[in-house]
Amino acid sequence: PAPLPPAPLPPCPCPGLQLPAAPGRLFPPLPAASFPPWRGSTKSYFQLREFSFTLRDDVYVRFQSFGSPQELERELQRTNPYKIDIGAVYSHRPNQHNTVHQGAFQPQEKELVFDIDMTDYDDVRTCCSSAEICAKCWTLMTIAVRVIDRALVEDLGMRHRLWVYSGRRGVHCWVCDDAVRKWSPALRAAAVEYLTLVKGGSETVKKVNLSEPIHPFIRRSVAIVEKYFEAYALLGQDILGGPESWDKVLALVPEDILPAHREPLRGEFPKKRDSAQRWELLKGRMDAPCYADWEVMLQYCFPRLDINVSKGVGHLLKSPFSVHPKTGGSGVLSLCHELDTAGSDGEQEDGGETEPKRRVRDYKRTSLAPYVRVLEQFVEEMERARRGERLRRSDLQGEF
């Protein structure tokens, strides 16, 4: 079986649960959007959704669509894809896109998605690189979830968020609010820009630059990062552990913040026991007031988002619970052995049970069950919100 992710996601995002009113919201709640004309029913909405399959030998099949969930299930059993990706809801059925007049086939809506990949942090982690992950660097994903989820709820007024492990080296977030799904690429890009502080490619040394006035989003993000910085960066990654690493940190501090202390610090650092003591020494030598310590903390710990993944309405993202073809792991955990055991036990208990019922019962005997329940609660909460909006609209129409 494939290994479990190195650490569980933090409990802060609670899909499917009622969230309290968020104090200090920077923007008004998202407006309720009317249902688009093609959404005459849930069935027609499903038929307009794109699915993509990755088959054996990296055969990539796009623009798959199905008349019903049962038809999708039958196709999955027939083709046995290595990976499943989910795309947008289109103006026409995706499997008929070649028959539609050129230009008429367009994506109409899609969840706002975020893909946070550990590879993007390679310049600030020393324990692993590329697709490798461990418990030390997984803290970066914990920070990312907490920072982004807080901002989505409190700053941007979003409600329906589903966070899942990507199956390999990061996490995915699906924002499913009705109004957000209809956002244009420009609005999606604006949201990612708002959530981005680390800017610049591999050739850029200093990637975080703060100036007055400090936005509330930055202050609230720093408050989250501070809780993890010592354990992750100073102890786990030892970012001031030797001359090469502390020169890297000193390069992030502007010249005017350490006008006469840069060279003396290089002589004093070896006298300190560890990175934590050297960090306190460094902060004490900074000319106040300044935000250089915040800039260092944010460059080492702040979430790094791929704007192209989030702004593209036609972009595909790996389905939650889909097995990752390169690791064999699902979006939550490995199941083959558990399913085999559950199936053997079930056959002994009741050999006359129908196959569909047994399959449902089998997954409930595995460690997948609580994660499926999280997904069910998430969908149930969305359905309750939709029913409430329909009732509200009905009441408003009755007043006129």
Place of tokens 């960066």: 233
Which residues fall within 8 angstroms of residue 104, CB to CB, at 6 or more apart? Answer: 91, 92
What SS3 state is found at 98? helix
Active-site pick, 85, 109, 111, 117: 117
Ramachandran sector of residue 24 (left: φ over 0; alpha: ψ -120 to 50; beta: rest): left
What SS3 state is found at 283? helix
Place of tokens 């039958």: 74
| DSSP secondary structure of 235-264 | IIS-TTSSHHHHHHHHTTS-GGGSTTTHHH
Active-site pick, 50, 177, 293, 295: 50
Instruction: Report the C-alpha gap between 174 and 161 in whole angstroms.
Output: 6
Instruction: Report the C-alpha gap between 130 and 132 in whole angstroms.
Output: 6
Which residues fall within 8 angstroms of residue 175, CB to CB, at 6 or more apart? Answer: 111, 112, 113, 114, 152, 158, 160, 161
Distance set, CA 291 to CA 232, 287, 323 (Å): 20, 10, 43
Q: Is 50 a catalytic residue?
A: yes
Burial of 240 (0-12, 13-18, 19+ CB in 10 A): buried
Q: One-letter amino acid identity for 76? A: L
How far out from the chain centre does Cα 289 lie?
A: 35
Q: Is 115 a catalytic residue?
A: yes
Q: Is 340 a catalytic residue?
A: no
Query: Which H or E run includes 154?
Result: none
Active-site pick, 85, 109, 115, 149: 115
CA atoms within 13 A on the CB side of 373: 9
Residue 327 tokens read as: 């690791």
Positions marked active-site: 50, 115, 117
